[in-house]
Amino acid sequence: MNIIIMGAPGSGKGTQAAIICKTHSIPHVSTGDLLRKNIADGTELGKQAKAYMNAGQLVPDELVIALLQNRIAEEDCKNGFLLDGFPRNKAQAEVLDKTVKIDIALYLETDLNKLAARAAGRRVCPKCGYSTSADKAPDGKCAECGENLIIRDDDKLEVVQNRLKVYAQNTAPLIDYYQAKGVLKTVDGMQTIEAVNAAIEEALK
């Protein structure tokens, strides 16, 4: 079974992807990890990707697809895989469809306002990396080492809201695309981890 998982930043997509892959014994294929590995290994495709990234440019879809083709041709993908991080828009989905058949597109539906508030409420210790929510640390101190907790720049409300806005703009056409193909499965991502996973397993039947 070839699965795509989609969800907003902070939706729990990574957590669910790990559970799905363990349950169904399929590899988790992350395009971000693929890029990093090919660059680190110095492959020909990795060198091409690195050149774009060093120039501050996005890696072209065709190059990402070539990396994916190589990865899903490996032995551990013969019974399926879970694709995470690609496609990010309709154009990429159309290119992907020319390469491989997607059986199910899983969409973790979430309340973007609540996700933004949750991220903005996150507090991190700059010294030991401890992470918690503001309401669980009313004194603003790290429970592990006593250091003052901070808000990371990428957790600031306006930054999170902008990231979610861009995500929503890109994802809406993607949802329609897979809906029209009859492979979209929408799951309420605002539930507990266990409830979301139970709903996903039902959708995968």
Q: At what angle do helices 90-97 and 61-72 cross, to 10 degrees?
A: 40
Task: Give the span between the Cα atoms of 104 and 2, in whole angstroms.
Answer: 7
* Residue position matching structure tokens 């539930």: 191
Catalytic choice (50, 88, 118, 127)? 88
Catalytic choice (22, 78, 152, 181)? 152
- Catalytic residue status for 122: yes
Kind of pairing between the strands at 81-84 and 28-30: parallel
Helix (H, G, I), strand (E, B) or coil at 113: helix
Which residues does 178 contact at the CB level (< 8 Å), separation at least 6?
4, 93, 102, 105, 107, 184
Q: What is the DSSP code string of 136-189?
A: G-TT-B-TTT-PBPB--GGGSHHHHHHHHHHHHHHHHHHHHHHHHHT-EEEEET
- Catalytic residue status for 118: no
Q: What is the DSSP letter of 77?
A: G
Task: Give the span between the Cα atoms of 82 and 5, in whole angstroms.
Answer: 7
- Catalytic residue status for 152: yes
Catalytic choice (37, 90, 118, 122)? 122
Residues with catalytic roles: 13, 88, 122, 152, 163
